[in-house]
Structure formats: structure tokens, C-alpha cells
Amino acid sequence: MLNYLFCLDKNYNKQLLISLNSLNFYSKSKFNVYIIHKDPTSLDRLMMRSNIKFDKIAKFKTYQFDGLNFNFPNLENNHISEATYYRFFIDEYIEDDIDQLIYLDCDILCLNEPDDLLIEVSESLKQTNNVIAASVEYVNTVHTSELFNRLDLKSNTYFNAGVMVIDFKAWKENNIKQKLLSAMEKIYDKVNFWDQDILNFVFDGRFLEISRNFNFSTQLNNNSNNIDLRSVIFLHYAGSNKPWTIIGATENISSEFHKNYFLLFGDRYFLITNYRKRGLVDLFKIIFSLRILQLDSPLSFIIESIKSLKK
């Protein structure tokens, strides 16, 4: 049985449930879900209030993160929370009898049946000396050399950590948690991409490379509407524009996110505005450029946008 791992705080509760709904829809077999959460009671309350249940989830277990003494790098004035670092501590929470974990960021949707391909990756991972499997995000070129030089990487590949298949037994045997914490201290002032930089610093090319279809990372912009997603297992909404931002929600590629939200909560759009001035400007652009007419429910979008600007 596949075991999925998520790490989050209360600000990503709805995004988690949307991701789980997509997993529940496309998975052909039951699976387990493990969650390391800053405030798990907030998630429990939301699920009870909305009467959310998933018929494919065999085990749903949450753990409250208690590593309060850590000063994680590059969090000040950023949209990323400390929860992105919680996966460093998985051996303190996950049961020892678990062989494999599939870590997913909460801004990921499942678009096709994942079971057989993930089982194949997990089995292949066991046959190697690697601890994790992941998709390559960057190779070392003249355009990306700053990244590799900044982290002093010896390899020529840098993976995206939004989807990771983890050999959990090998993770513990290789004392990965301590290596990550030591690396965090060592390169603290060099970290730009948060835990992903530290993971790449520790593994430095020593990972099983898997297809980009397991972590199809895309930026939400005007060029994202014509992407072919027919073979994609996990769609990763990377970057600062998300499906729940006013500008990101208008992209065709965000429709699957809002469809899952509607199935769970009954509302057409889930929107969050962290920067009101930018959100207001984006809303006016969408209206006056007539992009608003491309949406299924323009009036609902305007209403939810205004609500998000008032919060």
C-alpha cells in the first residue's frame, strides 16, 4: 500500500484537502496518509465542519510538529512557512514498519492513476544505493551555474523536492535527518530555495531520477494554457502565482484545482489575497482585458475575489 506524506500548517489545510481529493479520485487502490502539522486540530475541525471523508484512504494519521527550537533559514518576509522543513524530521514521527513514503507538496494535484508507476519507482529505488527518487529541475549550464556554485554542488543535477519517493528504511539507516540539520547550519546564509536547497546539498546528485510526469512543475502565466497534461501524474503549481491567487485562478491549468475545491466545499472558487494592492490591480486587469469572460463563472469569481481582498 502506498504511503503519502504531507507537511503543513493551518494556512494550507484546504490546499491539502484539495490535493487529497484528487488522489482519492484517481487512485485505484487504498492508500495511507501521514501528515506532520503545526496545528493538526485546525485540520480536524475543518474536516468535521465540512464533513469531508475519503473512501480510498485506509489510514489517516496526523502528528503535531514539536521542534520549536529551530531557526529555519530564509523565512522572514517570504510566502513560505517553516512547515516546508518538517520533512527533515520524519523519522521522529513515522512508524518504523513503513518501508516507503511518497512526499507531496500541498500545491500538487493528481491528474492520472498513480499506483502502478509509483510502486514501480519504489521497487526500483530499493535496487539502488539511493535514498530518494525525484525529478530533475535544473542541470548545470551557463544559465544555472549560480545555483550550483552557490551550493558548491559537485554533481550537475538539482532536483525539485515537491515530489519525493523516499526509501524510509534507508533514510533512517543513513541518518539523513542529522545530515540535513548539519547542512542547514553549514549553508544557512546560502539558502534561497529553503529545504530544497538543503536536500540538494546533502544528496548532491545521488538520487534516482524519475520522469517529469511525476512532478510536472509549471508556472502560472499566460503561456501555461496550452500545456499537454495527458501523461502527467502529479501537477505541481510552482512559483508565487497559485491557483488560489486572483491572477493564477484565471489560467486554464487552474481549473482542475477549483473543480476539486467545488466538489469538497461547494463553492466555485477558492481565493486568497496576501497583497491587497496587487490583488486589486490583478482583478482590474482581468476584468478590463475581458479575460473574465473566459471563466466558467465570472460573477462568482468577482464575488470571491472581493471577499479575498477584504480579509
pLDDT digits (tens, 9 = 90+) for 183-224: 999 999 999 999 999 999 999 999 999 999 999 988 766 555
Judge: domain 2-209, CATH 3.40.50.720. Answer: no
pLDDT digits (tens, 9 = 90+) for 215-266: 998 876 655 556 788 999 999 998 778 999 999 999 989 999 999 999 999 9
Q: Answer whether residue 58 shows pLDDT above 90.
A: yes
pLDDT digits (tens, 9 = 90+) for 115-127: 999 999 999 999 9
pLDDT of residue 224: 56
* Lowest-confidence pick of 67-76, 129-138, 145-154, 169-178: 67-76
pLDDT of residue 206: 98
3-state secondary structure 249-290: HHCHHHHHHHHHHHHHHCCCCCCCCCCHHHHHHHHHHHHHCC
Residues 6+ apart with CB under 8 A from 91: 168, 171, 172, 176, 177
pLDDT of residue 219: 72
CATH 3.90.550.10 domain extents, the chain:
2-209
Q: Is 174 helix (H, G, I), strand (E, B) or coil?
A: coil
